Every structure is written in structure tokens, then in C-alpha cells.
Amino acid sequence: RDGYGLRTYGSNTMASFGLYAAVGLVLASRVELGPTNRRITPIRRINTAAKKVGEGDYSARVPVEGDNELSQLAITFNEMANSFEATDVSRRSFMGNISHELRTPMTSIKGFIDGMLDGTIPEDQRDRYLTIVSEEVGRLARLTQNMLDISKLEAGEHSPQTTSFDIWGPLSAVFINNEQRLEEKNIRVKGMEDSHMVMVQADEDFVHQVLFNLVDNAIKFTPEKGEITVQVAPGKGLVSIGITNSGDGMPKEVLNHIFDRFYKADQSRGINARGSGLGLHICKVLVGLMGGRIWAESKEGEWTRFTFTLPLSTQKRPPVRRPDNRVQH
């Protein structure tokens, strides 16, 4: 009987232990399942959002909960998605602007040529309209070149070839090239007569393009009998070059976007409607590549000034150019 009781007690004890063990395992699994689900759910959300972004839906975002590694991963993912979305918006805007800029001159060219072919434009007016067609073709060529320049610059295919040179060299060349336009509008250029050698360390071709765009812009917006003032101010390690033109000036909201790609000043008034809105953006990129910066200031009804900086050269005078001894044919 005692043996039977011991066996019964042992059996009951084992059964109770088994029952408690089973209950314990169930409880433990449920306790463990909670944290596991809390870890898996954010991963599933990130995976779902990643699939949407991969399919082109750049608006997908992941909720950020807590302050652990997974929440940091969600923040990083959202920042990446923001970057993709901004790039996509920029790309769509770029393509829309390109389409518009190309369509406008092409429509004019086709219209004028069709008018000459079908006799709508009389013989004595053909030279006038052919001149307009030639100007529009030139505009298309400049626009195409600007787009190629931007593509190469942003792809890192253009790097500055830095040399030491006198900044007044390219300044003088740009104004000489625009001499006819200045005379046609009777624009006075100030500041060139008191030029003293100022050596900069930069890419001379890049500087020439920046100055060409800024002077071209100044001439467009300077009224007849107006003024363009050139300022060159050496400083501590930098040289500031300013181009100021008299005229209507620009409001603050325009200044905030003047260097944006395809942005056109005075859009509402139609002034400079024939420009592409790329020249000043290219200036910003080129100056940045040379280690400088560029900005614009204006007083409405009086003047506008564009200023950019370049590294000051430690060389005091231009390098001596050796004569070319090659036989000229």
C-alpha cells in the first residue's frame, strides 16, 4: 500500500510538473512573442515602404516609434525617401522646362518659315523675319549648350584647371566683346579706367563664362543711357568682383531664387522672357567649383549688383609667356 501510495504520489507530482511546465512554456512563448512582434512589425513596415519606393511611389514613409536601432533605421529610410522625392520633382520640373524652352523658338521658326513659303510674309519683309529666325536658331544653340554644360558640371565631368592670372584680363575681354551692344544702348561703363593688377587663382575659362553671363545680364536690364559699374576688391585671401547695373532692380522674393535653375527674373512683367533661366545657375555652379561664392543684391527702382569671390593668388604678377618658336605656315 505504501508502495502504491508512493507511486500514486510520484505520478501525480510528475503530472503536476508536466502541467506546470506546459503552462509555463505557453506563458513564456507569449511573453517572448510580444517583444518579437514589436521587433518584426517595424521591419515589415520598412520592407513595405521600400517596395513602394522601388515601384516609383516616393511618397512612402515609415512611422517612427521609440528610440532604438529600428527607429533610427526608419528615420534614415524616410530621409532617403525625401531625397528621392525631391530629385523626382526636380527631374519632372527640369523636363517640363526643357520642353517649354525648346518648343517656343521652334514654334516661332516654323511659323515664320511657313509664312514665307505660303506668301503670308511679303517679299520685302523676308529679310526681317529671316533675321528673327536666325536669332531663334542661335537661342536654341545656346540653350542646348547650356544644358550640356549643366549636365557635365553636375556629373563632375568638368573640373577647374586652376592657374594664376590678372582678373582684369577676362573683365576687359568681356566688355570689349559687348562693345557694340553697349554703344547701341548708350550705356556708360564705370570702374574699368582705374584698374590695377589683381591676381586670382582660378580657372580662367570658367571666370570668363561667369563674367560673360553677368555682363550679358547687366546689359539686358540696364536702360538706355544707364550705367554698369565694375568693382574689384582684394581682401584676406579672396577677391570680390562686382557687376552693378542701374535699372528697375529686383524684389527680395526674386533675389531668393535668382540662381535657381530655369528661374527667370521679372516673369510677371515679361522682361527677359526670351532668356532660358540657366545662365545664373551655371555661374553659381562654376564659382562654387573654384572655391568661391556668388550672391545678388538690389534696390528696387535703382540698381542690381551681382558679386562673386575667387581665391587671391600669392603670385604678384602673371607668368612670363615664352615666345612661340614654331614655324608659322
Query: pLDDT by residue (tens digit) across 142-201?
Result: 777 767 777 777 667 777 889 999 999 999 999 998 898 999 999 999 998 877 899 999
Exposure string of 53-79, with b = 16+ CB inside 10 Å and e = fewer, is beeeebebbbeeeeeeebeeebeebbe
Q: Give the span between the Cα atoms of 116 and 128, in whole angstroms.
A: 11
pLDDT value of position 171: 94
Instruction: Summarize the confidence of residues 57-83 as an average pLDDT.
Output: 80
For residue range 41-56, list pLDDT tens digits in order: 777 777 887 888 788 8
- Give the three cell numbers for residue 12: 501525480
**pTM for the full predicted model:** 0.59
For residue range 287-300, list pLDDT tens digits in order: 998 999 999 999 99
Instruction: Summarize the confidence of residues 278-283 as an average pLDDT.
Output: 83
pLDDT value of position 242: 97
Exposure string of 230-265, with b = 16+ CB inside 10 Å and e = fewer, is bebeeeeeebebbbbbbbbbbeeebbeebbebbbbb
More confident residue, 241 or 68: 241
H-type alpha helices, 124-167: 126-154
| 244: DSSP letter | E
Task: Locate the DSSP E strands across 156-204.
Answer: 163-166, 188-190, 199-202
Listed range (64-68, 180-184, 233-237) with the worst mean pLDDT: 64-68
